[in-house]
Amino acid sequence: KAGVTQTPRYLIKTRGQQVTLSCSPISGHRSVSWYQQTPGQGLQFLFEYFSETQRNKGNFPGRFSGRQFSNSRSEMNVSTLELGDSALYLCASRTGTRSTGELFFGEGSRLTVL
Amino acid sequence: AQSVTQLDSQVPVFEEAPVELRCNYSSSVSVYLFWYVQYPNQGLQLLLKYLSGSTLVESINGFEAEFNKSQTSFHLRKPSVHISDTAEYFCAVSPTGNQFYFGTGTSLTVIP
């Protein structure tokens, strides 16, 4: 069974640009969550999508947005990039239907903002 | 909101020595507890989890963690570490099974 796939793995942008990251969950998983990982801050929850609907949202500005498609693939977008947006963005999937399901993570997309 | 505290940001330990990585959480309700490990340039992998039942849970590579409800802790231990255990370890709590809260991580460095 294929794992969670994130693309691209690495990218470099400049301030003010926007970026779109993609995540393909494990087959059969309907829940996709996004996290921002920075040194010293750990993992900060961005949002979770389940069956194309945003189910939970973290405390990030509106520049951060996401969506989920009917095949459960998800994208997140960051507009008007700032230097502080440089981070590893992790996507995680789970079945979403049972409350005991753990998260399965992708390898992440490392974003550098110059 | 939940909070998860990993008291040690960095833990150096000699090879074959024991190690304990500490995790405390704030919750007065039942929670699900997890330890994840992150190797360099990789995502997080589940190491072990506590959902219910026996308070001592074990992983396949020799780690174990004990759920202590009175102290709201879920410390991770290994009696003898290997070089390959060098990684970042994250404790996570899920009060409802829907949302997860992560600690800031503990960097374990095993010294030859």
Lookup result for tokens 């040194």: A39
The per-residue pLDDT for B28 is 65
Interface of B with A in 53-92 (CB under 8 A): 90, 92
The per-residue pLDDT for B54 is 82
> How is residue A98 written in tokens?
């049972």
The per-residue pLDDT for A108 is 95
Determine which helix (DSSP H) or strand (DSSP E) holds A108, and give its type and residue range. Answer: none
pLDDT, tens digit (0-9, with 9 covering 90-100), for B11-41: 999 999 999 999 999 876 778 899 999 998 8
CB contact under 8 A, A90 and B43: yes
CB contact under 8 A, B43 and A108: yes
Compute the Cα dihedral for A76, B94, B26, A41 and give only its sign: negative
CB B7 within 8 A of CB B69: no
Q: Which of B65, B70, B110, B71 is nearest to B92 (CA)?
A: B65
Mind telling me how many Å the CA of B42 is from chain A's nearest CA? 5
Does residue B2 sit in helix, strand or coil? coil
What CA–CA distance (Å, rounded) separates B99 from B27?
14
* Residue of chain A whose Cα is closest to the Cα of B6: A42
CB contact under 8 A, B103 and A90: no
The per-residue pLDDT for B99 is 81
The per-residue pLDDT for B63 is 96
CB contact under 8 A, A102 and B34: yes
Is A93 near chain B, with CB under 8 Å? Answer: no
What CA–CA distance (Å, rounded) separates A109 from B85?
24
Lookup result for tokens 């903002």: A113
What CA–CA distance (Å, rounded) separates A100 from A102?
6
Mind telling me how many Å the CA of A12 is from chain B's nearest CA? 16
Dihedral of CA atoms A40, B58, B62, B81 in degrees, nearest 10, equals 30
Is A103 near chain B, with CB under 8 Å? Answer: yes
**A40 or B42: which carries more pLDDT confidence?**
B42
Name the average pLDDT for chain B: 91
CB A10 within 8 A of CB A19: no
- In order along its 114 residues, chain A shows pLDDT tens digits of 679 999 999 999 999 999 999 999 999 999 999 999 998 788 999 999 999 999 889 999 999 999 999 999 999 999 999 999 999 999 999 986 666 678 999 999 999 999
What are the chain A neighbours of B34 within 8 Å (beta carbons)?
102
Does residue B83 sit in helix, strand or coil? helix
Mind telling me how many Å the CA of B64 is from chain A's nearest CA? 17
What is B35-67 written as a DSSP string?
EEEE-TTS-EEEEEEE-SS-SEEE-TTS-EEEE
CB contact under 8 A, B100 and A45: yes
